[in-house]
Every structure is written in structure tokens, then in C-alpha cells.
A and B are shown apart, each in its own frame.
Chain A
Amino acid sequence: MSQISNDVEFKQALEGLSPIKQRTLAAAFVAHVLPLSHDERLNRVVSIAAVEHAMEDELLNALRSARAATFDSHARCGSEGHWNEQAGYFVARAAVAAVTPPAQSRSGGAAWQAAMSSRMARTSMLIDDGEGEPTAPAENEWQYQTLSDYLNANG
């Protein structure tokens, strides 16, 4: 039985997984914050990312959909930013990370990038327009537990 309890262990464990396993885990991370987005295209992206034997063209189409969702949800330069809406942008970015081909993934890999963007989505919901610090969300704890359960089940 292994229990992930911090980001160093979390990242190390994710990097040890195959690209396909990273993708399916990334899908789980995105699915957990999916209610923060109103973009229905992302439901389909997550469904495809979660399938171990997803076809290459399905993944490519999913990537295009996820990218389009980021373009439609980013904050405009100079416009008033709304962090509640920005959560949707980070969900879309998490979805992009999940279905990006391994060779094009940013450092840390698909699952790590999806995890980080998912956390940003959760944080975005907590950033209000006042002066107070947003309360740290428990998204990372949920991700640690999800990975621990996964590793224990597939170890």
C-alpha cells in the first residue's frame, strides 16, 4: 500500500506511469473539476481521454475541441477579468493537457499538467475580488488520494 502525501511524491509517481496511464489519470483529474466549466465539448474530451485504447484520430479531434474551448474561455486583454469564468479556462487547459500527444507535452507530462490546471480552476473559483487570500483548496489532496488508489489497484 502506498499513500501519496505531497507534490514531490505525486509528480514522481505520475512520471513513472506510461503515457496512456497518464492520460487516463489526467482524465480523472479533469472530470473532477468539469462542473466548473460550462463548455459541453469538454465532456466528450474527458470521455475520450479516459479510454485506454482511444484511437489516434479520436484523440486528435478531442485535442482540437479542447483547444477551441480554451480560445473561447480565456480572459481578454484589457477586459475586466472574472475569476469564476476563468475557472472554465483552466478546466479547458487541463483537458488540453490530457489529450496532448506525449511528445508535445510540457514538462511533468500530461497527468501532472492536467492536475496543475485543475487546481488552478478550483482556485479561480475561490479568488474573489476583495483583498482576502483565497482559501487553499483541497484539490491536491483529492488528486493524491486518486493516484494512491490507482497505484494500489494497479500496482
Chain B
Amino acid sequence: MSASLDKGISALKQQVDASVAAFFSSCVHCGICAEACLFYTETGEPERTPINKTEPLRRIWKSEYTLVGRLGKMLGLTKKVDHKLLEEWETLVYDSCTMCGRCSMVCPVGNDITLMIRKTREGMAAAGHAPAGMIGASKRSVEIGSPMGVRLPALRAQIKHVEADTGLKVPLDVVGAEYMLLLSSMEIMNFPEFIEAIAKIFEKAGASWTIATEAFEATNSGIQIGVSDIAAELVQRIVDAAEKLKVTTVISPECGHAYTAIRWDGPNLVGKKFSFKVRHILEVLDEMRQQGRLKTSGMESGKLTYHDPCQISRRGGVIDEPRRLIDMISDNFVEMPDHGKMNWCCGAGGGVSANERADELRLKVFQRKKDQFDAIRPDAIVSACSNCRIHLEDGLEEYNMDIPLLSLTETIAEHLAD
């Protein structure tokens, strides 16, 4: 991935389409997006206002695609996009944005500011102004197939443990299976019990499923860093495996952006309609519940709340499913203020967690989540994204809050009826 300023500017130019032009033209500079962004609300620093993060893209739009901007450029009056600007904006675009989409929800003229930041990242990455951690993750995704460098033997080793633990077979490369499960490297390395939960639930539901050895990774680093070519290549690997195994449905696991990457961005990235369905694991479980294939027994003893992962709830639309599933295992469920599509981000999505430089900032802005938890004082927090889970645990530890974090899928598996 060789980078240069010329490539960066060229990439930014390519990102200016009709929607971007309309967005910049219609921005009324009201600043409402600032109050929707935890990086602004928790720091009070105006440069972290979401729309300001798109400044490199805005300058290109103005100087190349507006009459006033072109005249200004001819007269040497426009503000340039150069290395100095991109260097300055790198921490705003990558460290101070989780692509959570909350700013897009409040924009009074309907600008998808998150999309504009995503497009700004395309230029930043092409110019070489992306965080080292995200560049490394992208390289490993392309070369190894996993942003964390997880190879097939490691997955097989974890599967052996899962099989010993459950006495169930974890099926690999089964042609004609109903479901093909994707996994994030986080689940393989940190939470192998997620695979265990799937094995138990699907066994009880009588569902056929498989993991593709040629494409087991759900995470799409190309989306996070903002390199569409990489994003498309990673989606294509999944498409190839799903078509080869002739599966009906590909399941995105408990990973936030993996879901939007494969389900909502995926077909556009590879330029064709999928021959299979894509569903988040919570959608699949809720469907099984509706069909009477998922039955549970017993209730959690304490007060539960649900942290909506941004990419699954706000950007993905999976909001009611987790609540219906939680109803099966809890009669003491409490919503946080600003839940569902307006939930506050954990602060670590969009590649922020892979960016060590952003550690101090992401823990600082966790104050917003702390306030949400303080308002309802839950006994346990349920969620459905491994990255949220890890970061929420980090944040709770940082703020001396002793609240357990539960995976919804794993908790459902713990309650399976005999």
C-alpha cells in the first residue's frame, strides 16, 4: 500500500459524488452534530465537531467542484490540502471518530456526516495519514486473512477445545449447510465460548451450519481504515466461500462493523447482488425464537441492560431483536437513557481500538457511557459486539465500576432449555 499526497488528493476527488456535493452544499454550520458526538461532549474541544472532521474532503469539493472554489483556486486563494493539513486531521478523523453514526442522526438537513468521514478516510489512507495500528491490521487482513493475524491452525485449536467442552462437532466446510458462520478474530482469541454457544444453540435448534476454512474472518479492516479496494477484496473472499459451500445464509457474529461491512456495504463493494442472505446472529436467534426452535429456561437474577453496538443497532437496524431475546431470559430489564438508535458509542469502534495512540482519549470519553450506567445502575450489561465488550470492560475497570459484561448469544446458550 504505497501512499503519497497525490494519491490522497486523487482519492478524495473520487469520493466527491452527488451525495457528498449535496451534503456540503446544504450544511448550514449549525453545529448540532457536535452535541451528538461523545468526542466533543466529553472533551469540549470544538475541533472534534463531526463536520469539522471532513475538512480535507470539503476543501477538495470546494476547490474542484464549485464555481467560487475554482475561481479562488485560479487566483491562489483556496486553502490547500497538503501533508500539514492531513497530519493535523489524522487524529480527528481516526482517533476522534468511531463511525458510530450518531451525528448523522441529528443533522437537521439530513447529511450523512459519518459517510463523509468514511470518505475522508479514503483520502487520508491513500496519502499515508492513517494510524500505524490500522495500517498493520489492513495488511494482515490481506496477507493472512485476519487483522489480528489469526490463522487457520489457531482456529482449529480453539475448535478442538470447544468440541471437548461441549461434546459437539463444530462443522467445517460443509457444502449445502443452511448457515455459514463468520467469526471475528476477537472471538477466536478472546471469546472462544461464542463458538461454543453457537454449537449448543444450533444443535438444539436442529440447524445445519458450518465455518468456511477459506473465509472465517468477519472483520473488515478495509472499511475501518477507508480503503475500498481492501474492503472489497475481503468481502469477495466471503462471497466466494459462501457460493462454494452453497449456503443459504451467512451469519455475521457479535462484531459491530463486520455486520454493516458484509450486509449493507458488501454488495456495493463487490458490485453484485449476493446469492445468499446475510444476517446478524441476533436476527438469526430471534428468527429461531419465532419459529419455536429456540427455547430457554430460567431467568437471570439481576437487573440487566443492553448496550446497543452502533453498527448493529443504529447503522444496522437490529434493535428489537436483542430486546425480544433478552425478554426470554430476564424479567428485570432496564433501558439506558438514549438507548436503541440513539445509544452512545462505547468509544472504541471504527478502528479506534486498534489505534494505541487513541487509548487515553477513548477512556476519557467513556465518561459518557459511565453516566448512562450510573443513571440505571445495572447488575450486568449485555451486548453483542466483542469490541464493545472488551472496551466496556476496560472502561468500567478504569472508572472503578464493578459490573459484569455478558454476550447476549452466550447468555442465551447458558439458558437453553433441556
CB neighbours (8 Å) of A89 from chain B are 190
Is A81's CB under 8 angstroms from B185's CB? yes
* Size class of the contact patch on chain B: 35 or more
Q: Smallest CB-CB separation from B386: which chain A residue? A: A77
- Alpha-carbon separation in the docked complex, A109 to B209 (Å): 28
B236, CB-defined interface residue at 8 Å: no
On B, residues with C-beta under 8 Å from A are 133-134, 136-137, 140, 147-154, 156-158, 160-161, 164-165, 167, 184-186, 189-190, 192-193, 219, 221, 224, 301, 348, 351, 353-356, 386-387, 390, 393-394, 397, 402, 404, 414
Query: Whole-angstrom distance from the CB of B416 to the nearest CB of chain A?
Result: 9
Q: Which of A77, A80, A86 has the most CB of B within 10 A?
A: A77
A79, CB-defined interface residue at 8 Å: yes
CB neighbours (8 Å) of B186 from chain A are 75, 77
Stretch from A17-25, A41-49, A131-139, A147-155 contacting the other chain: A131-139
- Alpha-carbon separation in the docked complex, A77 to B390 (Å): 8
CB neighbours (8 Å) of B404 from chain A are 104
- Alpha-carbon separation in the docked complex, A152 to B254 (Å): 44
CB neighbours (8 Å) of A16 from chain B are none
* Given A108-B165, A133-B156, A136-B160: A76 and B354 interface contact (C-beta under 8 Å): yes
Is A79's CB under 8 angstroms from B133's CB? yes
A38, CB-defined interface residue at 8 Å: no
* Given A71-B397, A79-B148: A133 and B390 interface contact (C-beta under 8 Å): no
CB neighbours (8 Å) of A140 from chain B are 164
A123, CB-defined interface residue at 8 Å: yes
- Alpha-carbon separation in the docked complex, A93 to B161 (Å): 15
- Alpha-carbon separation in the docked complex, A77 to B353 (Å): 6
Q: Which of B140, B153, B184 has the most CB of A within 10 A?
A: B153
| B161 interface neighbour in A71, A80, A123, Cβ under 8 Å | A123
- Alpha-carbon separation in the docked complex, A134 to B224 (Å): 31
Is B221's CB under 8 angstroms from A78's CB? yes
Query: Whole-angstrom distance from the CB of A112 to the nearest CB of chain B?
Result: 8
CB neighbours (8 Å) of A8 from chain B are 167
CB neighbours (8 Å) of B137 from chain A are 78-79
Q: List 22 A-B contacts (CB under 8 A).
A: A8-B167, A64-B402, A70-B393, A71-B397, A76-B354, A77-B186, A77-B348, A77-B386, A77-B390, A78-B134, A78-B137, A78-B147, A78-B353, A78-B355, A79-B148, A80-B148, A86-B189, A104-B404, A106-B193, A127-B157, A134-B153, A140-B164
| A75 interface neighbour in B148, B153, B394, Cβ under 8 Å | B148
A99, CB-defined interface residue at 8 Å: no
A107, CB-defined interface residue at 8 Å: yes
Is B351's CB under 8 angstroms from A78's CB? yes
- Alpha-carbon separation in the docked complex, A15 to B152 (Å): 33
Within 8 A of B (CB), among A12-71: 64, 67-68, 70-71
Is A79's CB under 8 angstroms from B354's CB? yes
CB neighbours (8 Å) of B414 from chain A are 106-107
